[in-house]
Structure 1
Amino acid sequence: MIRVSISSKNNQVIQQSFEKFFQKEQLEYQIVPYSKNTHQDIYIFEIHQREDLKLIEDQPHFDYALYYVIGPKDYDLISECMRLKVNLYF
């Protein structure tokens, strides 16, 4: 089972997109709102301001997990996300 945690103002839109993908691929999944210090397989963070990076900084980094970021349009924010070892950003 793939465990996904989402921190976003557009939680429903993001969740629906991932649900469609997992269902299409016939994967078992569980999607929950983000909660600090949880153990998930995929973490999705919506980042628009430098203050939002605190979510990633405060989350323990697990080698097995994927960290996705949605939203940064500013190169400095993207650079900070990369420094924080984010796997992919949209």
Structure 2
Amino acid sequence: MPEWLAPLAAVGENWERVLLGLAVALILTGRIVPKFRLDEARIDRDNWRAAHEKEHEARMEHEKNTSELIRSLDLVKRALDSMTPPKEGRHEAT
């Protein structure tokens, strides 16, 4: 038995079976996964991150454009309000 497996010596002669059972249990519970699955998960994570960053940039650009549009519309409204004469009976404060 290798030295690093010395704690399993307390199990007795069946230490190989115990070690195999432990490995199988770890695989079945998903604690140990094949490298290709881990690589797939990393690629998927990176793809989601890139998509999130792209969507965030688009949202920020949309907010910027909306703010500019609101300012422009406010300017147009003030310009139109200044061109129209006040209605009778209504006095605007200056």
Scaled to the shorter chain, the TM-score interval is under 0.3
Write 1 or 2 for the structure with the bigger share of strand: 1
TM-score relative to the length of structure 2 = 0.22
Write 1 or 2 for the structure with the bigger share of helix: 2
Structure showing greater radius of gyration is: 2
